Chains A and B, each alone.
Chain A
C-alpha cells in the first residue's frame, strides 16, 4: 500500500535540494542575471562535499567547501555575463559543462569511497508529535531540511520588506534607475549570482551528504538543476511558491519509486512494477517540469507579470533602454 505520510516526508527531504537550488536562482534572476549552470554548480557542490568529507571526516567542512566551490564557478558566469556582457544563456550552458566536466575529473574514483560521516538528522521534540504534520515536517530530517524551513521566509522577507531587497528588485527591473541613484548594478549582480552559486552548492551537498549519500557521477543530480530552473518560472520568482513546488516534486519522485515496488497497486496487479513501463514513470518528473513551465508562462502572460523586466539583458551605462 502507498504510505502517503512516508511519501510526503520523503518529499520534504528530497524537495529541500530543489528548494535551495531554486531560491539561489531566484536571487540571481531577481537581480537580472539568469544562471543556467545550476546543474553544473550542484554537481560540483555534491562532489566537493563528498570528497572533502571522505578526506577529512568532517561533513560540515565538506558542506562549506562545496558551497564555496559552486560559488566560485558562479563567479565565472558572473564575470562573463556582467562585465563582458556575453549572452547569459550560452554562458550558463558553458558554466554547466565546466561544472559537470570538472566534477567528473576531480571526482574520479570517488564512487568507490564507500560510506562516510554524514550531516546529522534531528527530530524536533514536541512538534514531531503533531498528527500528520509531525512526521512529515519534524521527524528525523537532516538539519539542512530545517534550514530550508528557515531560509524561505527569510529570503521572502529580505526581498520584499527590506531596503537591500528593494535595491535588488530595482536592479533586476530597471537597472538604469538604480544606477542613476548610485546603486552599484554590477556589484549587486555579482553578489546575487554568487549567492545563487552558494545555494546551488548547498543543494548539491544536500544530496551527497544527506538525502542520497554518495557519488554517482552525473546521476547524482540527474537533472534536478534544470528542474529547479523550471520551478523558478513556475514559482513566479516567489520563494514560497518555490518551496511548495520543490516539496511537491520531491514527493512525486518518491511516489514514482514506490509505485514500482509493490506487486499490487490499488487492488490490481501493479503495471508499473520494475518493468518497461517503469521508463514512463521515469519520464514523469521531466514531463511534469514542462507542464509547470507551460502553466507558469500562461500565468505570466495573463497577469502581465512575470520575469524581472531586465532579466537576461546585460546592463551598459549610457545605452538607452533599460
Chain B
C-alpha cells in the first residue's frame, strides 16, 4: 500500500502582530500530489499562515516540516530553496521590467553578465512544458492580469518549486481563465507538484480542491476535510461560525428618472493606454446598476471619470442633464455624488488624521461643520460620535488615527461619511472587498437602504454573487466598453461570464438562437 507522504506539515503555528493574534496554534498538512484549499473569510489568518510557510514571516511558535525534514526559514529565499513557491494575491512583479527579468530576479545565476536572449529561450522552453504562454520580452505593465499571474507561476517553477501556494488566484480571472487555470493546476499535480490554494469562495473550493482546511479568526475549524462529502452550507458555517443565510432581502424596486448618464466616454488609464472606449451607461434613481467584469477592464477609470478624478478625452457625464465631464472633483461632490473608493487607505482616508477628521472630509466646507473660515469643533465631535454609533464602528474613540482601524471599520467610516451627505448618486467601487461576512452584510444593507430612499447607485464589484444579488440591472464591462445589460433574474452565470470575456450580448443571444 503506498504511503501517504506529507509534502508539508505545519504544527502549532502561532503568529502575532501588534494588537492581533493572526494564527492561534494552527496545524496544516499538505499531502504529496494533492490540491488543498485553505478556506476562511477575510482576516481569518489564511494569508498569514501561508506567508509563514513561504518564509516572509517568522512564527512565534510552531514547527514546519517539509518532505520529512524539519525546516526553519529566515527569509523567502530559504523557503524557495526548500521547494516552496508562493504566488501572492497582489503580484510581486516589477512593472517596468520584462517577464524574463522578473523570472530570474533574485537568482544567483547568471553570475554577472545577463544574456537576455539565451534566458528568453529558456523561459519559452519552460512555458512549453507547463502550457503557460506569455511573451518573455514583454514588460509587466503591458500584460493583462491573467498573463501576469502566469509569470508569477513560471517564476516559482523556474526555481524548481515542488509546492505551489496560490493566494486567491481566481480573484482576477474570468470564468474561462479560471477553467484554464484549473487545467494547468491539474497538469502540475500530475507531474508531481502539490498545491495549496487560499480562497474565500466556497464554490471554487468544492470544485478545485481535494481537501480543505477551514480557518476562522486564527484557528482551525476543519482540518484537511475531503471535499467529496461536504456541503456548501457546512463549509460556510465552519467559516463563519453560525448559520449563514445566502440570500438578501431585496424588495421590488421602482426606478425613477435617469439621474446619471454616461455618454460615449473615452479615457486613458495611468499608463496612457485606452481604458474607456466610447462607453455609455444610465442609472436611475432608486436602482442599483451593478458593473460586473474582471479587474482592469476600465472599472476604476469609469468610476474616476464620473467623480471627476480622471480626464476624459471625449464624451459626457450627465447629472440630471448637466454635463460635468472633466470638471474638478469638487463639482461632483457639490452635486451630491458620493464616492466609496476602491482604495480605502490610499484614497479614501487620511491615515494619520483622526477618525473624526476623516469623517468631515466631504462636509467641512459648509455649515454646520464650519462657519466662515473656522471649523466648528463641537459639531465635528458630536457628529463623529453619532456616526460611530450608527454605523457600529469599532474604535476606542473618535480621536484614534484612521490607520489603526481595521479594514471593515474603515469601510464603515467611509460609508458613514459618504451617506451622511444625503447623496443622490452613489458610486461604490469594490465596497466589500477584504471585509469579513459581518461587515459585508452591513455594507450591503446600507446600499439597499439608500436604494429604497431613491438614491441611484452604481456598484462595481468583482464578486459576481454580490452583483447578482444586489443589482436591479447588470452591465458587463470589458476593455472599456459595455458588452451588454441584463437583469439578474433573466440571465445566467455563463452568459455573464461570456460577456466578461469579451462577447457582446447580441452575439451570445444570436448564437443561442442559432443553437435552437
Residues of A that sit less than 8 Å from B by CB: 161-164, 166-167, 169-170, 173-174, 176-183, 304, 309, 317-318, 320-321
Q: Is B114 touching A173 in the complex (CB atoms < 8 A)?
A: no
Q: Using a CB-CB cutoff of 8 Å, which residues 78-137 of chain B contact chain A?
A: 78, 80, 86, 88, 90, 92-97, 101-102, 104-107, 110-114
Kindly list chain A residues whose C-beta atoms are within 8 Å of the C-beta of B345: 320
Q: Chain B contact residues (Cβ within 8 angstroms of A): what range?
A: 20 to 34
Residue of B nearest to A181 (CB): B106
Q: Is A170 touching B95 in the complex (CB atoms < 8 A)?
A: no
Q: Is B105 touching A181 in the complex (CB atoms < 8 A)?
A: yes
Q: Using a CB-CB cutoff of 8 Å, which residues 146-178 of chain B contact chain A?
A: 155
Query: With A and B bound together, what is the CA distance between A115 and B86 in angstroms?
Result: 63
Kindly list chain A residues whose C-beta atoms are within 8 Å of the C-beta of B78: 182
Residue of A nearest to B101 (CB): A166
**Which of A161, A164, A177 interacts with B92 by CB under 8 Å?**
A177
Query: With A and B bound together, what is the CA distance between A321 and B351 in angstroms?
Result: 14
Question: B272 interface residue, CB < 8 Å from A?
Answer: yes
Q: Is A174 touching B94 in the complex (CB atoms < 8 A)?
A: yes
Beyond A161-B114, A173-B96, A180-B76, 7 extra complex contacts between A and B, CB < 8 Å: A163-B107, A173-B95, A173-B97, A178-B94, A178-B106, A304-B270, A318-B57
Q: Is B80 touching A318 in the complex (CB atoms < 8 A)?
A: no
Query: With A and B bound together, what is the CA distance between A167 and B109 in angstroms?
Result: 12
Query: With A and B bound together, what is the CA distance between A269 and B114 in angstroms?
Result: 59
Shortest CB distance A185–B (Å)? 11
Q: Is A177 touching B114 in the complex (CB atoms < 8 A)?
A: no
Residue of A166, A304, A309 ringed by the most chain B CB atoms within 10 A: A166
The A interface, classified by DSSP as helix, strand, loop or mixed, is helix
Q: Is B271 touching A304 in the complex (CB atoms < 8 A)?
A: yes
Q: Is A167 touching B105 in the complex (CB atoms < 8 A)?
A: yes
Kindly list chain A residues whose C-beta atoms are within 8 Å of the C-beta of B77: 181-182
Q: Is A164 touching B112 in the complex (CB atoms < 8 A)?
A: yes
21 CB contacts below 8 A, A to B, read A162-B112, A163-B104, A163-B112, A164-B112, A169-B96, A174-B94, A174-B95, A177-B93, A178-B94, A178-B106, A180-B54, A180-B76, A181-B155, A182-B76, A182-B106, A304-B271, A309-B95, A309-B96, A317-B56, A320-B90, A320-B345
Count contacts between A and B, CB distance < 8 Å: 77
The 8 closest A-B pairs by CB, nearest first: A182-B77, A181-B106, A177-B92, A174-B94, A180-B92, A173-B94, A183-B106, A170-B94
Kindly list chain A residues whose C-beta atoms are within 8 Å of the C-beta of B491: none
Residue of B nearest to A169 (CB): B97
Query: With A and B bound together, what is the CA distance between A320 and B351 in angstroms?
Result: 14
Kindly list chain B residues whose C-beta atoms are within 8 Å of the C-beta of A167: 105-106
Query: With A and B bound together, what is the CA distance between A182 and B106 in angstroms?
Result: 6
Shortest CB distance A187–B (Å)? 11
Residue of A nearest to B90 (CB): A320
Kindly list chain A residues whose C-beta atoms are within 8 Å of the C-beta of B110: 163
Q: Is B113 touching A183 in the complex (CB atoms < 8 A)?
A: no
Kindly list chain B residues whose C-beta atoms are within 8 Å of the C-beta of A180: 54, 56, 76, 86, 88, 92
Kindly list chain A residues whose C-beta atoms are within 8 Å of the C-beta of B97: 166, 169-170, 173
Kindly list chain B residues whose C-beta atoms are within 8 Å of the C-beta of A318: 56-57
Question: B75 interface residue, CB < 8 Å from A?
Answer: yes
Residues of B that sit less than 8 Å from A by CB: 54, 56-57, 75-78, 80, 86, 88, 90, 92-97, 101-102, 104-107, 110-114, 155, 270-272, 345-346
Shortest CB distance B407–A (Å)? 11
Shortest CB distance A157–B (Å)? 9
Q: Is A169 touching B94 in the complex (CB atoms < 8 A)?
A: yes
Kindly list chain A residues whose C-beta atoms are within 8 Å of the C-beta of B86: 180
Residue of B nearest to A161 (CB): B114
Shortest CB distance A32–B (Å)? 12
Residue of A164, A176, A178, A181 ringed by the most chain B CB atoms within 10 A: A181
Query: With A and B bound together, what is the CA distance between A181 and B106 in angstroms?
Result: 5
Residue of A163, A169, A321 ringed by the most chain B CB atoms within 10 A: A163
Shortest CB distance A148–B (Å)? 23
Shortest CB distance B198–A (Å)? 16
Query: With A and B bound together, what is the CA distance between A309 and B93 in angstroms?
Result: 13
Query: With A and B bound together, what is the CA distance between A177 and B151 in angstroms?
Result: 13
Query: With A and B bound together, what is the CA distance between A180 and B105 in angstroms?
Result: 10
Query: With A and B bound together, what is the CA distance between A177 and B107 in angstroms?
Result: 13
The answer to whether A177 and B94 touch (CB under 8 A), given A166-B105, A166-B114, is: yes
Kindly list chain A residues whose C-beta atoms are within 8 Å of the C-beta of B105: 166-167, 170, 177-178, 181, 183
Shortest CB distance B366–A (Å)? 34
Residue of A nearest to B91 (CB): A177
Shortest CB distance B34–A (Å)? 25
Query: With A and B bound together, what is the CA distance between A148 and B222 in angstroms?
Result: 66
Residue of A nearest to B75 (CB): A182
Query: With A and B bound together, what is the CA distance between A167 and B111 in angstroms?
Result: 12
Query: With A and B bound together, what is the CA distance between A162 and B116 in angstroms?
Result: 10
Residue of A nearest to B155 (CB): A181
Residue of B nearest to A305 (CB): B96
Residue of B nearest to A172 (CB): B94
Query: With A and B bound together, what is the CA distance between A179 and B155 in angstroms?
Result: 14
Query: With A and B bound together, what is the CA distance between A179 and B54 in angstroms?
Result: 12
Kindly list chain A residues whose C-beta atoms are within 8 Å of the C-beta of B92: 174, 176-177, 180-181
Query: With A and B bound together, what is the CA distance between A201 and B104 in angstroms?
Result: 35
Kindly list chain B residues whose C-beta atoms are within 8 Å of the C-beta of A166: 97, 101, 104-105, 114
Residue of A nearest to B102 (CB): A177
**Which of A161, A181, A304, A320 interacts with B113 by CB under 8 Å?**
A161
Residue of A173, A182, A304 ringed by the most chain B CB atoms within 10 A: A182
Query: With A and B bound together, what is the CA distance between A41 and B222 in angstroms?
Result: 60
Shortest CB distance B189–A (Å)? 24
Q: Is B93 touching A174 in the complex (CB atoms < 8 A)?
A: yes
Query: With A and B bound together, what is the CA distance between A169 and B76 in angstroms?
Result: 19
Residue of A163, A169, A180, A304 ringed by the most chain B CB atoms within 10 A: A180
Shortest CB distance A108–B (Å)? 43
Kindly list chain B residues whose C-beta atoms are within 8 Å of the C-beta of A182: 75-78, 80, 106
Kindly list chain A residues whose C-beta atoms are within 8 Å of the C-beta of B155: 181
Shortest CB distance B149–A (Å)? 14
Residue of B86, B90, B97, B346 ringed by the most chain A CB atoms within 10 A: B97
Residue of B nearest to A176 (CB): B92
Q: Is B114 touching A163 in the complex (CB atoms < 8 A)?
A: yes
**Which of A163, A169, A178, A309 interacts with B111 by CB under 8 Å?**
A163
Shortest CB distance A250–B (Å)? 32
